[in-house]
Chain A
Amino acid sequence: MTGAAGEPIRWGSGPLAFELETADPEIRDAAHRVFNRWRPDEDAVTHGRWSAYRDEGELVVSPRRPPDAGAQLDTIRDPEHAVAIIEYAAIAQIVERCDHILSFHAALLSKNGKSIALVGPSHSGKSTLATGLWQSGWRFHCDDLTMIIDGKAVAGPRRVALRSEARPHVGEDLWNRVPSTHGYFKTAVGCLFQPMHLDGTMPERVDLNGIFFMKRNGAPQDKPFNRLERAHAALALLPYTNLVRTRPFSEALAPVAALMDRAPAWDLPRRPLPEMIATVESLTGHR
């Protein structure tokens, strides 16, 4: 992230950059704390610009995404809330507008140079497994959007959302350190925070060594894991990608299939968390 006083605050990941224009010192401070490690490439193209300011005492972010049908735009509570809105809008921009890059809804983690993506629908246990792996020494890159850039996986520029019920899986030590991180933001159901602020790392591009599908339709449930044949894995990942929104089927599937050439994929049925962690570690050569 860059942005000296008076200049737009610029952040992003790889070739994708975003900008925030604001003269408000509190918003600038909040944005710096959230985006400071997200540095786009030197020649990154700006894919979204927002401004944030105060109007008669109220915080305004422009442009704002229209709310769901029937809903109203919520009032922005404080500078941290304004930055969270912009942070999410940037991710939505990647998903909806950046189809020159393959991205998909997945958590990205790594350990000892090996990286994995966890893919699944809501309530599939993805977040629980991700936090359990994090507690077991895995680096937690993101829980939301994984992008493929030059054949490498990289996290979308967004904080991790930690729900309160994840506390037993995270462990007391880690849990208690989260609120002290720079980008910590308390939400109604938990918090947003950046694991990089705890381990001192920076975003990096990693080789993807495995993709784990949680709650895939048709996945066998009678064994702890199931290796997926490449075509089935590509078809399973496709609905989670950005490309499926904008490209014809064949065009969307081709880059996903190419990713499956490089990364093996498995179904990972729901089991007790320690068992699932052991399975992931075994399949990725950590045990």
Chain B
Amino acid sequence: MTYRRSLAVDETPVGERVVLYHRVSGSAIVLNPSASLLWRALEHEHSTASLTASLQKKFPSVDQSRIEADVMSCLDDLASHQLVSAQAENRGS
């Protein structure tokens, strides 16, 4: 699965956090610092594996399985607010 930001989202950095606003639903959420890092990475389309690897570089002392679980949880949360869209990974033919 790959993820990308929804085009209907405005973002505002506030300190080390990012506030997201969905222009269609009108909902706004505040991301914690880790989720904010993830959001910044989602400027480009990413798979869960590449997002996990990216965060692993930032937090080398944290166990990879823990990071992977956090990434999945965060992506599910963002998707439930329609802040990101998910699509099946194209592995080519």
Known: A249-B10, A249-B28. A235 touches B19 (CB 8 A): yes
Minimum CB–CB distance for B82 against chain A, Å: 15
Name the contact of B30 in the complex, choosing from A232, A248, A250, A254 (C-beta under 8 A): A232
Q: Which of A218-241 contact B (CB under 8 A)?
A: 229-232, 234-235
Tell me which residues across on chain B come within 8 A of A250, comparing CB atoms.
Answer: 10-12, 21
In the assembled complex, B46 has its CB within 8 A of some CB on chain A: no
Instruction: Indicate if the CB atoms of B19 and A230 lie closer than 8 Å.
Output: no
Tell me which residues across on chain B come within 8 A of A254, comparing CB atoms.
Answer: 12
CA distance A235 to B14 in the complex (A): 10
Instruction: Indicate if the CB atoms of A253 and B19 lie closer than 8 Å.
Output: yes
Known: A231-B17, A234-B19, A249-B21. A257 touches B30 (CB 8 A): no
Instruction: Indicate if the CB atoms of B10 and A231 lie closer than 8 Å.
Output: no
Q: Which of B14-40 contact A (CB under 8 A)?
A: 14-15, 17-19, 21, 23, 28, 30
Q: Which of A52-101 contact B (CB under 8 A)?
A: none
In the assembled complex, A260 has its CB within 8 A of some CB on chain B: yes
Minimum CB–CB distance for A86 against chain B, Å: 35
Query: Which of chain B's residues has its CB closest to A261's CB?
Result: B15
Query: Which of chain B's residues has its CB closest to A258's CB?
Result: B14
Known: A231-B30, A232-B30. A253 touches B12 (CB 8 A): yes
CA distance A229 to B30 in the complex (A): 10
Minimum CB–CB distance for A261 against chain B, Å: 8
Query: Which of chain B's residues has its CB closest to A248's CB?
Result: B10
Tell me which residues across on chain A come within 8 A of B12, comparing CB atoms.
Answer: 249-250, 253-254, 257
Name the contact of B15 in the complex, choosing from A231, A235, A249, A253 (C-beta under 8 A): A231
Query: Which of chain A's residues has its CB closest to B9's CB?
Result: A249
Minimum CB–CB distance for A29 against chain B, Å: 48
CA distance A267 to B86 in the complex (A): 36
Tell me which residues across on chain B come within 8 A of A235, comparing CB atoms.
Answer: 19, 28, 30
Instruction: Indicate if the CB atoms of B10 and A234 lie closer than 8 Å.
Output: no
Tell me which residues across on chain B come within 8 A of A230, comparing CB atoms.
Answer: 14-15, 17
CA distance A250 to B11 in the complex (A): 6
Q: Interface residues, chain A, CB within 8 Å of chain B?
A: 229-232, 234-235, 248-250, 253-254, 257, 260
Q: List 21 A-B contacts (CB under 8 A).
A: A229-B17, A230-B14, A231-B15, A231-B18, A234-B14, A235-B28, A235-B30, A249-B10, A249-B12, A249-B21, A249-B28, A250-B10, A250-B11, A250-B21, A253-B12, A253-B14, A253-B19, A253-B21, A257-B12, A257-B15, A260-B14
Given contacts A235-B19, A235-B30, A250-B11, 17 further A-B contacts (CB under 8 A): A229-B30, A231-B14, A231-B15, A231-B17, A231-B18, A234-B14, A234-B19, A248-B10, A249-B23, A249-B28, A250-B10, A250-B12, A253-B12, A253-B14, A253-B21, A254-B12, A257-B14
